[in-house]
Structure formats: structure tokens, C-alpha cells
Structure 1
Amino acid sequence: MKVCVDLKKCQEHGQCVIAAPEVFEFDDQGKLAFAEHPDDALREAVEEAADVCPEQAITVED
């Protein structure tokens, strides 16, 4: 699985961090950081994060 975030669309609302904290987090500067290739066991959480993103900035590829 590959996680893609369009950082131009991302407004850093943090819904992804709530939905999948193992994959998404804010760095020391308050910018979104994420694991590009998380374990497949986290797929459900990552797909939830993509669904709840207000800007629809997250896509999940196989």
C-alpha cells in the first residue's frame, strides 16, 4: 500500500492524525508527516483517514 498526500490541498485539519495516528502525525514545525508505505494491517485506518479528510487530499494506492 502506498499513501499519497497532496500537500498543496492539505490544510492540516488533523482528521487523518486522529483516524490513523500510526501513519499520520504533525512534525515539530506543525506540518503533516506520514509513512508513505505503512503496513497493510493499517489499511482500514488509512482508508478512514482518506475518507474523513475535508480536503480529500489523501489517496491510497495498492
Structure 2
Amino acid sequence: MTKVSVDPELCYGSGECMYRVPSVFTVADGFGSVIAGREDSGSEPEVREAAELCPSQAIVLGSQPA
């Protein structure tokens, strides 16, 4: 399983992630973030695509123990 997060130091608030996968991402205080409880949703192909297409490369995907 893959964990997803948004690096607040890199994000500049384009909202691209929220438009691509609104079930996982939101915009809070002008910056992208992961909806609470959705951090482990990184296995979805849409989340991987959102990470690849993030204009600031702020979406972080990482492995998590099973």
C-alpha cells in the first residue's frame, strides 16, 4: 500500500490535485492537502497520475508497511 501526502514547502496551491482526485485531495488555506483518512489511498492510479502531473511536484508517494 502507498501513502500519499502533500509537501507544504513545495505546494503553491494550483489545486490541480483536487481537480484530478477530489476524493483524496482538497485545498486548505490556499494549498493542496490530503483529506484526513485518505492518506493511504495512494494505490489508486489517479493518485499516481496526480503526483506525476503536480506542477510543483509537491505530492509525495511512499511505501507503508502492510
Report which stretch shifted further, 7-16 or 31-40.
Answer: 31-40
The normalised TM-score by structure 2 is 0.73
The normalised TM-score by structure 1 is 0.76
Q: CA deviation at 1:55?
A: 0.6
Between Structure 1 and Structure 2, the one with more strand by share is 2
Unaligned runs of 5+ in 2: none
Structure 2 residue 26 is the aligned partner of structure 1 residue 36: no
Q: CA deviation at 1:32?
A: 2.7
What is the aligned-residue RMSD (CA, Å)?
A: 1.8
**Other-structure match for 2:12:** 11
Structure 1 residue runs of 4 or more that deviate by more than 3 Å after TM superposition: none
Q: Aligned residue pairs: how many? A: 59
**Other-structure match for 2:46:** 45
Write the letter of the residue equivalent to 1:36: E
Between Structure 1 and Structure 2, the one with more helix by share is 1
Residues 12-57 of structure 1, C-alpha deviations (whole Å, 9 max, x = no match) = 1011011111100123x444331312274xx111001101111101
Task: Give % identity.
Answer: 36
